[in-house]
Amino acid sequence: MNLENKVVVISGGASGLGLATARYLVKKKKAKVALLDMNREAGLNAVEELGDENAIFIATDVTEENDVDAAISATIQKFGAIHVDINAAGIVAPKKILDKNGIAGSINNFRNVINVNLVGLYTVMAKCAEKMALNEPDQNGERGVIINVSSGAAWEGQLGQCAYGASKSGVNGINIPAARELGSIGVRVNSIAPGLFATPMVDALDSKVKNALIEMCEAPKRMGNVDEFASACAFLVENGYMNGRYIRLDAATVMQAK
């Protein structure tokens, strides 16, 4: 799918990899973006940067179906269609199964992570797919593309990441059944699992922590550039034969237990 003038919904689009992807797609691919995020100030700043003609921000809690419905409606009202959905909203919230006294913790932490990272992702994906089905197919029969953001924790979750690892494994598990179902209407589904990227959140870490994380990267021995993530998203949109799969974009990193 050619990204020029296509409308891209990005959950978690006001910061980090979501915002970096929005910038890349607008500035280098001439796409339009709808930024779904809970950070109103950051979202409005992003629209000011990208231009009102290219971007819209909608304050959205992906765990609230009514919020997602409102965001989808606002996007359609602004741009008239949805062609691509990139789901980058997520939380980590590490917590061990047993506390230092050997007592099982509250289930609420696990539930919240699953609700945001998996249920919220599915909600946005499904609502976008509904609108993609209404698009006229392009010359290759495509109506839409969905990219769900996973993580290396889907395979090598660290201590305290049971909830996060489970949620990201679930993201990858969506690929094949969703691709099989939505392929009939010309919609492809893939996921991308980023490693360590130079986002503002990572940059704020103590230098010793960052160096320890970089040591886990095999080659190249560095953090990823956010444009490398964004260009991988563009590849998944533009390459019509990529479907039902995941990409590990992590410099061959294998995360250690801690």
pLDDT of residue 209: 79
Q: Using CA atoms, how far apart are residues 121 and 74, in angstroms rounded to an integer?
A: 18
pLDDT of residue 205: 73
pTM: 0.96
Architecture of domain 7-196+225-249: 3-Layer(aba) Sandwich (3.40)
Catalytic residue selected from 122, 164, 241, 246: 164
* 202-236 pLDDT tens trace: 777 788 878 888 998 999 999 999 999 999 999 99
24 in catalytic set: no
pLDDT of residue 210: 83
pLDDT of residue 50: 98
* 16-46 pLDDT tens trace: 999 999 999 999 999 999 999 999 999 999 9
pLDDT of residue 207: 85
Show pLDDT as tens, one digit a residue, over the chain (258 residues).
Answer: 999 999 999 999 999 999 999 999 999 999 999 999 999 999 999 999 999 999 999 999 999 999 999 999 999 999 999 999 999 999 999 999 999 999 998 899 999 999 999 999 999 999 999 999 999 999 999 999 999 999 999 999 889 999 999 999 999 999 999 999 999 999 999 999 999 998 876 777 788 878 888 998 999 999 999 999 999 999 999 999 999 999 999 999 888 887
